[in-house]
Amino acid sequence: MKENLHIFYVPEAATASAGTLIYLSEEEAAHCSRVLRLKTSDFITVIDGKGKMYTAQLSECRKDTVSAVITEVFTDVYQCPYYNHIGIAPTKNIDRFEWFVEKAAEFGIDEITPLLCQHSERKVLKLDRVEKILVSAIKQSGNAVMPKLNPLTPFDSFMKNVAAESAVKLIAHCESGMEKVFFGNAVKKAERSITLIGPEGDFSLEEIALALKSGFKAVTLGQTRLRTETAGVSVCAFLSCINNS
């Protein structure tokens, strides 16, 4: 793989092989030709979001149309040995939630489910904007896998959706007087995990009870009270440390 090439996201490349002609999306094409000012015959790196990377050579590079020919295919791109799914309530200040999404993608999160909880202050979420942040983050970090982004999901519906999943299921909440274990002791290396992070007002007692009844274990992320977005990133950091130790 050629080093230090600009990275572009082309989902359609998933079925490509050496010699295949691919086209960049309108947005990626504009970035390639207008912002980076790349020219015909320049080489780029392409990711498909499914775990493969490609080296490609630009065959046409105009303002709105950019095509390239795949020259090399790399299937042995690093894959996380664990699966990290976080259900998290979007914050009232959308910038904070978007910051979480960006950092979580840099850590290699696999799946994000925005949660609609009883204490949620944000009840609407524009997924297209969040998806753009995810694309930008995986390109920046060199991650070849696009995280799965689910729609805003009511808490009780989420419980039903993951009921049959085989995973370590954890809920981080701030209620005192309840038994909790430290997150770092609740997950082992290479495990699949689902972690719940509540809104600014925390999960309701009813939601905590439902989660515990549904097989979730209560965890703490430390002695200090974390903002929603900080808690989400902390989970990603913990899992990265556990799996890279």
pLDDT means per 10 residues, the chain with 245 residues, are: 89 95 96 95 96 96 94 86 96 97 97 98 96 96 94 98 97 94 96 97 97 98 95 97 91
Structure tokens at 151: 């729609």
pLDDT at 50: 92
Cβ pair 3, 23 in contact under 8 A: no
Q: What are the distances in angstroms from CA 148 to CA 49, 63, 207?
A: 10, 30, 24
**Could you count the other beta carbons within 10 Å of the beta carbon of residue 196?**
29
User: E-assigned strands of 30-133?
Assistant: 43-47, 53-61, 66-74, 83-88, 111-116
pLDDT at 121: 95
Q: What are the distances in angstroms from CA 163 to CA 109, 110, 153, 169, 202?
A: 21, 18, 14, 10, 22
| Domains of the chain, first to last | 7-74 (2.40.240.20), 83-243 (3.40.1280.10)
The pLDDT > 90 percentage for the chain reads 91
**Could you count the other beta carbons within 10 Å of the beta carbon of residue 34?**
12
